Amino acid sequence: MQRRPIRSTSLKAVGYEPSSLTLEIEYRNGRAVRYTGVSEAVYQGLLAVPGKAQFVEQVLEKSGYGREQLR
């Protein structure tokens, strides 16, 4: 999955695959996480909000999406 750079103090890039509802987030510290079951609307919401790290914490981490630590 190709990730695109985003403007954020703690997130470096995000990638989304609509056919599998998979979202990948790469952090500036090198860590990367994959979430599964994420709708296109949630992905677009992440891109739209100014507080992207807060969105990840409040929406992705607390909504029961599948989560896999990539590195």
Task: State yes or no: pLDDT of 1 exceeds 90.
Answer: no
The pLDDT of residue 11 is above 90: yes
Residue 47: both structure tokens together: 């891109």
State whether residue 47 is helix, strand or coil: helix
Please give the biggest Cα pair distance in the chain.
29
Please tell me the pTM assigned to this model. 0.92
Span 21-69, pLDDT tens digits:
999 999 999 999 999 999 999 999 999 999 999 999 999 998 889 999 9
44, two tokens: 């677009």
